[in-house]
Structure 1
């Protein structure tokens, strides 16, 4: 099989554009992965190649668990991993592209912005290559190149500076001002992308890239993993409901698979289609997403049957677990937007970020939070989210009987023992 990690020196360097082109090129035989807790890029990946993208996060999970996860889902001929931020960003949390690449021994292709430079590109590359000698950097693609002559200047310098054991392959270049992007509103929003648009982008991005050499450097032998590095999942004779739609779309695919392994039956319903929770459901999971924006709230207002069934579920003292937007939906309101009024808390939408990054909860969960809303009253909160274990933090979760809502996004497979109370097991 083949496995390749796409990274860069920072965000907004074109990782998603290159990843998109490669995913489309290998679309019939590729599994996409995203390093870190991101929910948006995996949705792009799935749209491009019609295969679920898997998050690899070495903060939320430990190293053996991430290796197991990668092994489980690397079930296609090609695995493409999209990095997070810059190559080394996240090292302080143990979850950078460098960390995951080293852990999985996956070759890395760096995408470097060549605009307004040529020799300095090689100096930047040397810094990246030598900062940590055990990195997996094997090749480079140059982005925003003005001409073939510009590319040849940079290529010559890199080949001169990186020889022998330190050789770095120069796979090719992407020209600046791509016509396919000028002609569409695509940018990083692939939800409206048509097949011909993706095909045009793929062709233009890969036009000057040596794909045969890329395949050669990305040859990969899967590691045989026999140990299951998690608490054993014992199936229970209960039914779970997962809400998954335009409003609640921040769903880690492995969380869904874990619930399918845990519960005897799992139904997936859409609140935005106003579908009801089955009366025989024992547990409801509402993922994150958006309910506070104008567009999302219009869908909330027209989902009255769903809302009624959720309230009925709560009134029967059945279990509900909700993350972020799910938490907001369970609340009384967000500003003047009325919600389900199951949890006795209200929120306001701020213009400034309230949380961003990895957090620990007092209950023992590790996860990620990113939101602009804040509670009007924290007195009824039940859990504290903090940047470090046992450090000062702020309320980030609320509970009422068997209903639990939290700002924290986490992964279920390695937290089954903690989540059992919320699942009613």
Structure 2
């Protein structure tokens, strides 16, 4: 099989641009992956190549679990993995692009910014190469290059300094098709993808890239998770334009363990079916004006959820939690949980957290409860940095700011989804 990771020295270096171009180029035979817990990039990956993107996160899974996950979903000819931040960022949590590519033996392309520089580009590469000797860096692509001559100058220096690095090519500065596109964040602007892919890959040697991407796929990897018997229950998943933050493997896992999984679209005012046993509300956005306007008049959905909450189970993450509350600022929610929130200008949590049960996850939100002493289940970054309350519950209704991967969290499944 073929697999490649696109990484860089930092965020905003062009990883999403190059990943997008490669996904479109290989669109008929590619499986996209995103390293880390991000929800936005995987949505964009799927739009580009029409294949769900899989999150690879070492913090939330152990080594054997992550190896199984990558192997299980590497079902296409090519696997293209987009790194997170800079190549070594996240190493303190064992979840950097370095850690994951090393574990999975995935060759890495480093994208290097060549604007206003030439010899120093090689010095930056030397730092990346020498920081950890067992890294997977096999090639570079030079970004923001002024001309063919500029590229050849840098290429000559890198090839002189490194005998084990392939220089695959360059991306010119000021690509016309990207001039009014905020790629990676704007999921609507898709009509330019073909042109962007062509312009980004115009000076990149795809055959050479494919050659370095060849790896051996591991066979007969044993299932490393605790098995759970099939649950004779129906689960309704609130998953739509607002509540869209769902790890693809979570969706697949829920389908594996529940008798039936149905999708409910709150923005279309769909109701929770009466014979539903469990409701899972995904994270996403409900607090912004645009998102709230999509659900503020979804009265049939709201009433069916309120009715379900009387004696049945609800599990909600982040935006799902907000919707269970009374208000976000002046925006009325469902009032199933007696808690209100306000949206701040600065994020209130960002990064990896664990709860009081030791369950690991990720949180990123700008909202906070109006009463910060309400709730329970502190979300903490470390044993030394004990955090604030991040979850609320009433009867069998539970909402949390923590996003989790479910397959390895049988304790969470049994306690919260089977309550």
- The TM-score normalised by the length of structure 2 is 0.98
Specify the alignment match of 1:176 in structure 2.
Answer: 173
Alpha-carbon shift at residue 187 of structure 1 (Å):
3.2
Unaligned stretches of 5+ residues in structure 2: none
* Structure 1 residue 390, shift from structure 2 partner: 7.5
Question: Per-residue CA shift, 1:158-202, capped at 9, x if unaligned?
Answer: 000012xxx1000000000001112x435334522345x111000
Map of 2:410 onto structure 1: 416
Matched, 1:289 2:279: no
2:332 to 329, 338, 356: 338
Provide the TM-score with structure 1 as the length reference: 0.97
Match runs of 1:367-386 below 5 Å? 367-386=361-380
Find the counterpart in structure 2 of residue 76 from structure 1.
Answer: 76
Contact 1:68 1:225 in 2 (8 A): no
Does 1:218 pair with 2:208?
no
Unaligned runs of 5+ in 1: none
- Taking structure 1 as reference, are residues 9 and 390 closer, same or farther at Cα in structure 2, changes over 3 Å only? closer
| Deviation >6 Å, runs of 4+ | none
Give the CA deviation at 1:379.
4.1
User: How does 1:97-246 map onto structure 2 within 5 Å?
Assistant: 97-163=97-163, 167-182=164-179, 184-195=180-191, 197-246=192-241
In the alignment, the residues of structure 1 paired with residue 248 and residue 117 of structure 2 have an alpha-carbon distance, to the nearest angstrom, of 41
- Partner of 2:409, secondary structure, is helix
8 A Cα contact 1:355 1:369, kept in partner: yes
Cα separation, 1, equivalents of 2:53 and 2:298: 28
Of 289, 297, 302, the match for 1:307: 302
Q: Which residue of 2 aligns with 1:3?
A: 3
Deviation at 1:392, TM superposition (A): 1.9
Distance 1:188 1:159 in 2: 32
C-alpha spacing 1:41/1:48, structure 2 compared with 1 (3 Å):
same
SS state of the match for residue 379, structure 2? Answer: strand
Q: Name the structure 1 match of 2:354.
A: 360
Tell me the matched-pair count: 419
| 3-state secondary structure, aligned to 1:241 | strand
For residues 414 and 291 of structure 1, the distance between their equivalents in structure 2, rounded to whole angstroms, comes to 28
Give per-residue Cα distances to partners, 1:194-214, cap 9 Å, x unaligned: 45x111000000000000000
**Cα RMSD over matched residues?**
1.1
SS in 1 for 2:252: helix
Contact 2:374 2:389 in 1 (8 A): no
- Pairwise CA distance, 1:253: 0.4
* Most deviating of 142-151 and 356-365: 356-365
